[in-house]
Amino acid sequence: MSLKKILTIAGSDTSAGAGMQADLKTFQEYNTYGMVALTAVVAMDPETWSHDVTPLPIELLDKQIKTALSIGPDAIKTGMLGTEEIIERAAKAFQDSNAQYFVVDPVMVCKGEDEVLNPGNTDAMIKHLLPLATVVTPNLFEAGQLSGLGRLTSIEDMKRAAETIHNRGAKHVVIKGGKALESDKALDLYYDGKTFTLLTTDKFQSSYNHGAGCTFAAATTANLALGKSPREAVIAAKGFVASAIKHGWKMNDFVGPVQHGAYNHVEKIDVATEEV
């Protein structure tokens, strides 16, 4: 059996709970071969944990993508892209590749930071990424932006947003109600253009959940690369990230990452599904 290869186009989180570090750790948990084309480096001030984002020169991104495509990824995932130019590069990377799966995690803010990275990016994601996406994994805020519906507060709102995002070209949409939706369960909504499926786990502690979104999208990508259907891939990814959150840990006074290996090494969590 040959090893499946996955390329992530994403930023570096020096604290390593999120970003390309979360992606690589997650790919490894699935025994897939992770590769990286780095977009930016995020460092944190040890006194305040405020984020310092340094983009890499675009020529350097181009060189990395060229290298990675020569190795032949089976799937490509995107994380923090940051500029319209990089969003276009990520779309082109998938088009130039022979990868079968393109998972778009439409990162708009760094967790812990309120500022939307760049509003023009939303339009660029709609134009360049959604039409190519096998699966897109917005959180509640990102789904509101990508659908143009604004603030989403209910399952009905999530359904309308999922339909709009699907109409904009994404073949499969999973909106993470996760931490933002008011509910005593962690609910995500999956839509394949026909059926809405609610994915549910218990809601665990949420103090140490840094990297949950990246880990969920990375696990979805790994499951697709391994041959699962998009529906099965997001269900598996949700169990994987739920375990990672339940066993998240305190790193310092500011942040606590998820435990990427918890599903395989500590505890497996089941996901309930229901058509809605």
C-beta closer to ligand ADP: residue 97 or 145: 145
Near ligand ADP in 194-213, by CB under 6 A = 201, 203-204, 206, 209, 212-213
Q: For 210, which DSSP code?
A: B
- Which of 1, 29, 74, 4 is CA-nearest to residue 259? 29
What is the distance between the alpha carbons of residues 67 and 26, in angstroms, rounded to a whole number?
22
State which of residues 94, 101, 208, 216 lies at the interface with ligand ADP (CB under 6 A): 216
CB of 27 to ligand ADP, least distance (A): 17
State which of residues 8, 12, 139, 220 lies at the interface with ligand ADP (CB under 6 A): 139
**In the structure encoding, which two tokens stand for residue 269, read together?**
């969590």
CB of 100 to ligand ADP, least distance (A): 23
C-beta closer to ligand ADP: residue 65 or 165: 165
Task: For 134-192, give the DSSP string.
Answer: SEE--BHHHHHHHHT-----SHHHHHHHHHHHHHTT-SEEEEE-TTTS-SSEEEEEEE-
Q: Which residues contact 46 (CB under 8 A, 6 or more apart)?
A: none
The count of chain residues that interact with ligand ADP, using the rule CB under 6 A, is: 20
What is the distance between the alpha carbons of residues 262 and 34, in angstroms, rounded to a whole number?
19
C-beta closer to ligand ADP: residue 61 or 236: 236
C-beta closer to ligand ADP: residue 18 or 93: 18
Would you give the binding string for ligand ADP spanning residues 228-257, x where CB under 6 A is met?
A: ----------x--xx--x------------
Name the burial class of residue 114, with classes exposed (0-12), middle (13-18) and buried (19+) by CB atoms within 10 angstroms of its CB.
Answer: exposed
CB of 81 to ligand ADP, least distance (A): 14
What is the distance between the alpha carbons of residues 237 and 271, in angstroms, rounded to a whole number?
10
Distances (CA, A) of 120 to 11, 61, 232: 19, 20, 33
Would you give the binding string for ligand ADP spanning residues 73-112, x where CB under 6 A is met?
A: --------------------------------------x-
Tell me the window of 2-10, 33-41, 179-187, 190-198 that interacts with ligand ADP (CB under 6 A). 179-187
Does residue 193 contact residue 187 with C-beta atoms inside 8 Å? Answer: no
* Residue number closest to ligand ADP, CB atom: 213
Interface residues with ligand ADP (CB under 6 A)?
Answer: 111, 139, 176, 178-180, 186, 188, 201, 203-204, 206, 209, 212-213, 216, 238, 241-242, 245
